[in-house]
Structure 1
Amino acid sequence: MPFKVAIVGTGIFATDAHLPALLKSEYFTPYSCFNRTRAKAEKFAKVAGISKIYNSMEEAFEDPEVDIVDALLPVQYNLAAVRLAVKHKKSLCFEKPVAANMKQAKEIVRLTKENPNLIIAIGENWSYLKAVPAMKEAISKIGKIYSFTYQSTGQFHFDGKYLNTSWRLHPEHIGGYLSDGGVHQLALLTGVLGKVKKVNAHTKQVRQLSGDDDILYSLLEMDSGLIGTFTYGSAFGNAEKRGMFEVMGDNGSVSFDFGPGHLEHLTLRVGGSTSHSESYTKEIDIEGEDRTPLSEFTALGKALTTGDKSTIVATPEVVYHHLAVIDAALKSSAKDGESVLVMQ
């Protein structure tokens, strides 16, 4: 039988992204819901075909019929959801970023480690992109790697459906949009190249509507010794939306163009290690890439079915690092670009 899901927080993303993924998943069925605004919960319940609505968030965790709680809350409430999961021994998934600040993030990691029998996962679908293993395989063919360039930039959209949510207009989470969207980019970057060791960065705020700094230009040094640039921001004027990740070695390069309208594929260029080495270029298609939450729910469903949590890539400890990189970047910018070690 599919696992019964209680959806806590029934806003735009719950309706437009999580609900379709849950309905498509072979592992889950929407069972109940809660929202602080009762009318929103009732509207969601009608769309989802749900008859059970709670009067409090804790009721979702107390319900013995519920197998897992899917929490889509303003990020500052993630810790409260984790505490309820621990209290009631209930499996939980919740949306990225892991927390509003590093103190909360550390507490979530601590609680997760102290309760190893609980399944606690973060909804970070970029951790499950097929581009991650595809890039790692391609990189193995370009010799010793030395550097990378990562860029995700674009135009500010005043009609964005998430723009006017109060928790984004007045963010309690560090960096506002930089942590809200930047952790996606870091899930891809670190999934391919490993952890970031230190950051030199400059950040600025372009849009008052962003609520905080919204563009980031930085130099990263990885634990492996690789160096590279990381640029993120979608607060500019009329500009083409671009997404490019390129890794360079002594015998070639691998580039991934993930901008809108581009086919999901990598470009592998091999050669250059010596004056006589063979050189060639190969396009590698990434078949069936899924950027919806379905990939993370599939991994979660397998873990719940088998008890093997290794299918869950976006653990609290992993996504803690993504937020820690943003935290280091903000601290570096406040120190005029000085090197800042990423908090462990």
Structure 2
Amino acid sequence: MSNTPGIAILGAGIFAKEAHIPGLAALGEAAPALKAVYSRSEKSAADTAAAAVSQLNLSSAPAVYHDGGDQSNSLDALLARSDISAVIVILPIMVQPEVIIKCLAAGKHVLSEKPMAPDVDAGVQLIKQYTDVFKPKGLVWRVAENFELEAGFVAAAKTVKEGKIGDIISFRATIVNHIQLDNKYYKTPWRTIPDYQGGFLLDGGVHFAAGIRTVLGKPIERLSSFAALNRELLPPHDTIHVIAAAGRAHGTVAVTFASPTTSKAEADDYVFIGTKGWIGIKIIWDKMVYRIATKWRTSAEKEEYKEEEETTEVPFGEGVKHELGEFFAAISGKKDAQAVGDLMDTLRDVAFIQAALTSNGQPIDLTKLIEGSGNAA
């Protein structure tokens, strides 16, 4: 078992049960002890605590905390516990900012689910509060953006960094999703009628922005976009088409949650073209892998033309395990902890989606969007 004092999970929804608890289980002895689970409802907290007993092979269930009961079972009571040093926040988008600050104020390290905030203004305010008040106290706050550590994007980023395909000059991402009324995420009340911008495009779209910046090695800087609502069950928007720039690299990003059928046309892939070659990342759903194809020129311009190619497959869906591991490494003071879940990087992911939703064909500079926030210093 990790030497780090205990942790708590705040939020007892689908992703807590199906991603974070399995992620803790996969870490085994490297994960701190799960001491408590909080949810707004006692039933959902108890259900998640029971799932933790089964998946983590615990001898006793984590303590259950919830709203509306005795003060001893409240979130404040959980945060007052000295045997809990860190929390994993997996709450609805509009609730998270207040809870993040509450946890930091209680002296807890925080790993909060993406998006880091519902909009740029809220994100800038959160980062300023953390930087001014809580970071000087040695508290760690990271954002749980698992696409940064998904094997497909990590492997492609490594290839790009090694210079195999040269400097990236062009990129393309096409992501297609079909949402049905019985979709387990759609049935979540706060997603069915979202009170935040973009609906599924914000909730899921920041992932795709993170995957692109991971491979590019830099965030998107400027974009022009059109947003649309094509299926009335997915307000306020379900589709964006973006032309984007990151330094020398220009590209397109098309994201839709409005596919009319469960089967998809050619989609769920990313292509990055460099000065010496290209690399493509495609999710193969029936195998749960990323297929990475790379082709590059091995000869100099004046020599006889030669090229090489390779295709590899790496696991899909292990990003949560890795982000948890890196967070625990960071809060325990390990110097080799990867610098992932960076606040400004994940704020830029939010800025990408916000700009894509509001551009209506006009160019938007994402740096200026962030700097022009009403909460910017």
Equivalent pair of 1:265/1:283 in contact (CA under 8 Å): no
Q: Secondary structure at the match of 1:236?
A: coil
- 2:57 matched residue in structure 1: none
2:110 aligned residue: 92
The structure 2 residue matched to 1:256, chosen from 275, 278, 281, is: 281
- 1:246 is aligned to 271
Residues 41-93 of structure 1, C-alpha deviations (whole Å, 9 max, x = no match): 22222332324222322322221111211111101111112211221111111
Asked if the contact 2:152–2:315 (Cα under 8 Å) also holds between the matched residues in 1, the reply is: no
Question: What is the aligned partner in structure 1 of residue 25 from structure 2?
Answer: 23
Distance 1:255 1:36 in 2: 42
The superposition leaves residues 8-48 of structure 1 with CA deviations (integer Å, 9 ceiling, x where unpaired) of 11122111221121233222222111111112222222332
SS at match of 1:235: coil
What is the CA RMSD across the aligned residues, in angstroms? 2.1
Structure 1 stretch 118-127 or stretch 135-144: which is displaced more? 135-144
Aligned equivalent of 1:200: 224
1:278 correspondence with 2:302: no
Mean Cα deviation higher: 45-54 or 228-237? 45-54
1:36 maps to 40
Match of 1:303 in 2: 330
3-state SS, counterpart of residue 340 of structure 2: coil
Alpha-carbon offset, residue 96 of structure 1: 0.7
Name the amino acid aligned to 1:62. A
User: What is the CA distance between 1:303 and its match in structure 2?
Assistant: 1.2
The residue number in structure 2 matching 1:53 is 64
1:126 CA drift (Å): 0.5
Percentage of pairs with the same residue: 22
The answer as to 2:292 corresponding to 1:266 is yes
When residues 273 and 152 of structure 1 are mapped into structure 2, their CA distance, relative to the original with a 3 A threshold, is: farther
Alignment deviations for residues 223-244 of structure 1 (CA, whole Å, 9 cap, x no partner): x221100111121112416211
- In the alignment, the residues of structure 1 paired with residue 226 and residue 127 of structure 2 have an alpha-carbon distance, to the nearest angstrom, of 28
Q: Report the AA paired with residue 157 of structure 2.
A: K
Aligned pair partner of 2:80 in 53, 62, 68: 62
TM-score (norm 2): 0.84
Aligned residues: 340
Once residues 144 and 74 of structure 1 are traced to their aligned partners in structure 2, the CA distance between those partners, rounded to angstroms, is: 39
Inter-partner Cα distance in structure 2 for 1:195 and 1:231:
17
Unaligned runs of 5+ in 1: none
d(CA) in 2 for partners of 1:266 and 1:277?
A: 27
Normalising by the residue count of structure 1, what TM-score does the alignment of the two structures yield? 0.91
Distance 1:213 1:273 in 2: 47
Is contact 1:246–1:253 with CA below 8 Å preserved after alignment? yes
- Of the structure 1 ranges 110-119 and 70-79, higher mean CA displacement relative to structure 2 is found in 110-119
Q: 5 Å matches for 1:1-344?
A: 1-2=1-2, 3-25=5-27, 26-49=30-53, 50-54=61-65, 55-114=73-132, 115-116=134-135, 117-139=138-160, 140-193=163-216, 194-222=218-246, 224-238=247-261, 239-240=263-264, 242-261=267-286, 263-271=289-297, 274=301, 276-288=303-315, 290-308=317-335, 310-333=337-360, 337-342=361-366, 343-344=369-370
Secondary structure in structure 2 of the residue aligned to 1:98: coil
